[in-house]
């Protein structure tokens, strides 16, 4: 099916001397007309080169300005081409502009309750509180000893086999984040905690890839019967959902049982939350803790996996 790109380019709605905050969901662009070649280039880069979509931001900066709104096949895209504008909107006015993108395929695949995709509601605030309390600056020093020990092991491993730098860094980062989140120490490359986390992040990267899933632009497609022609994405989402559920819940259940038996490595995020709740979280809190912990693990493990070009450059040097 041909990919369509629909760009809505209205007039600038700002008035001289106005101090009211812009509405991000209004079409904000430069009033000058965009050349057709520029529009086609934007469309090509958005749909065919998603790994370098930041180049679209550079292109829009030269053509339009600091704040640009585009629609690509029904999906709103906002480019903030200035650190000043980004800080003004996303930090100083975050209460207004802190909504999350709606990624239908990612939600169908099991990430519907993940912290990074939740809209700002009570569950989101509870997950955020769990993460920020444990990663506050005053709490970080208690993890320094373990991090330094892992850094020494990484240095030794790299000296022994520098050709595997990327894999070694990924392994140590995974070890650190799993230990700090669940109180489990990764001893082997095929440790279930590590492989589950990698699988979940691979699924998220594929499910959230822009321009790939038609259901992201046409959410009603999720109601199609699985036997309907073209509904194969539903079977894929069901399969992925089972893997994601296992990746989120298995480490958490292990951590909870280890805390109750006194065998968990301390400190860790789950144990800190269990202690605050006297070891008996309610069902709602339990689920939010599961996804807060899963988000921490996935975010830490994705740091290196999302930058393969940096790994390649490091190996070359």
The pairs formed by 209-216 with CB atoms below 8 angstroms and a separation of 24 or more are 209/50, 210/46, 210/50, 210/53, 210/72, 210/75, 211/3, 211/46, 211/47, 211/50, 211/72, 211/73, 212/105, 213/104, 213/105, 214/1, 215/104, 215/105, 215/108, 216/75, 216/103, 216/104, 216/105
Mean pLDDT lowest among 41-45, 89-93, 151-155, 250-254: 41-45
Confidence of residue 313 (pLDDT cuts 50, 70, 90): low
308, pLDDT greater than 60 = no
Q: Give me the pLDDT at residue 136, please.
A: 84
Mean pLDDT lowest among 6-10, 105-109, 230-234, 272-276: 6-10
Q: Give me the pLDDT at residue 37, please.
A: 46
- Alpha carbon of 184 to those of 179, 190, 263: distances in Å? 5, 14, 10
Locate tokens 């050349």: which residue?
A: 35
Q: Pick the more confident residue, 193 or 42.
A: 193
For CATH 1.10.630.10, the residue range(s) in the chain are 122-316
Mean pLDDT lowest among 22-31, 51-60, 180-189: 22-31
Dist. CA 79–CA 94, nearest whole Å: 16
Q: What is the mean pLDDT of residues 138-160?
A: 94
Q: Residue 177 half-sphere exposure, CB side, CA atoms within 13 Å?
A: 24
Confidence of residue 289 (pLDDT cuts 50, 70, 90): very high
- Mean pLDDT score of the chain: 79
Residue 67 pairs in a beta bridge with: 80
Q: What is the mean pLDDT of residues 207-220?
A: 88
Residue 70 pairs in a beta bridge with: 77
Q: Pick the more confident residue, 3 or 60.
A: 60
307, pLDDT greater than 60 = no
Q: Give me the pLDDT at residue 168, please.
A: 93
Dist. CA 132–CA 134, nearest whole Å: 6
Q: Give me the pLDDT at residue 36, please.
A: 43
Q: Where are the alpha helices (DSSP H) in the chain?
A: 36-48, 54-63, 83-87, 104-106, 122-134, 144-160, 165-182, 192-207, 214-217, 232-261, 269-276, 283-305, 308-316
User: And the tokens for 82?
Assistant: 């200035």
Coil, strand or helix at 6: coil
Q: Give me the pLDDT at residue 137, please.
A: 84
Q: Pick the more confident residue, 91 or 234.
A: 234
Percent of the chain with pLDDT over 70: 73
* CATH of span 122-316: 1.10.630.10
Locate tokens 């988000």: which residue?
A: 295
* Among 142, 145, 191, 148, residue whose Cα is nearest residue 297: 191
107, pLDDT greater than 70 = yes
Residue 80 pairs in a beta bridge with: 67
Global confidence as pTM = 0.73
Q: Give me the pLDDT at residue 147, please.
A: 93
Q: What is the CA radius of gyration of the chain?
A: 22
Residue 278 backbone phi and psi in degrees, to 5 = 60, 30
82, pLDDT greater than 50 = yes
* Among 131, 179, 192, 134, residue whose Cα is nearest residue 153: 179
Q: What is the DSSP letter of 262?
A: T
Q: Give me the pLDDT at residue 272, please.
A: 92
Dist. CA 128–CA 97, nearest whole Å: 16
Confidence of residue 118 (pLDDT cuts 50, 70, 90): confident
Q: What is the mean pLDDT of residues 225-242?
A: 95
129, 277 contact by CB (below 8 A): no
Dist. CA 229–CA 219, nearest whole Å: 16
Confidence of residue 96 (pLDDT cuts 50, 70, 90): confident
Q: Give me the pLDDT at residue 125, please.
A: 87
Confidence of residue 188 (pLDDT cuts 50, 70, 90): very high
Confidence of residue 20 (pLDDT cuts 50, 70, 90): very low
Q: Give me the pLDDT at residue 97, please.
A: 78
């Amino acid at each position: 099916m041909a990919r369509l790109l629909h760009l809505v380019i209205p007039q600038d709605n700002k008035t001289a001397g106005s101090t009211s905050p812009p509405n991000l969901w209004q079409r904000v662009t430069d009033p000058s007309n965009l050349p057709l070649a520029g529009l086609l280039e934007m469309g090509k880069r958005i749909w065919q080169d998603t790994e370098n979509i930041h180049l679209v931001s550079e292109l829009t900066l030269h053509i339009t300005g600091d704040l640009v709104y585009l629609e690509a096949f029904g999906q709103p895209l906002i480019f903030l081409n200035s650190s000043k504008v980004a800080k003004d909107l996303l930090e100083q006015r975050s209460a207004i502009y802190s909504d999350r993108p709606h990624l239908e395929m990612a939600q169908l695949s099991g990430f519907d309750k993940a912290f990074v995709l939740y809209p700002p509601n009570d569950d989101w605030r509870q997950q955020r509180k769990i993460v920020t309390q444990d990663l506050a600056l005053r709490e970080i020093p208690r993890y320094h000893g373990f991090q330094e020990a892992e850094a020494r092991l990484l240095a030794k491993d790299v000296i022994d086999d520098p050709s595997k730098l990327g894999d070694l860094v990924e392994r140590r980062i995974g070890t650190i984040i799993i230990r700090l989140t669940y109180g489990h120490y990764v001893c082997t490359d095929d440790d279930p905690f590590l492989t589950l986390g990698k699988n979940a992040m691979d699924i998220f990267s594929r499910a959230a890839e822009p321009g790939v899933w038609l259901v992201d632009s046409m959410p009603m497609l999720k109601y199609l019967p699985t036997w309907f022609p073209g509904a194969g994405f539903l079977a894929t989402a069901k399969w992925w959902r089972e893997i994601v559920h296992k990746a989120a819940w298995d480490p958490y259940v292990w951590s909870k049982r280890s805390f109750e038996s006194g065998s968990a490595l301390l400190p860790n995020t789950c144990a800190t939350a269990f202690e605050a709740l006297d070891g008996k979280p309610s069902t709602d809190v339990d689920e939010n803790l599961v996804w807060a912990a899963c988000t921490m693990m996935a975010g830490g493990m994705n740091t290196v996996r999302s930058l393969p070009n940096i790994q390649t450059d490091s190996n070359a040097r």
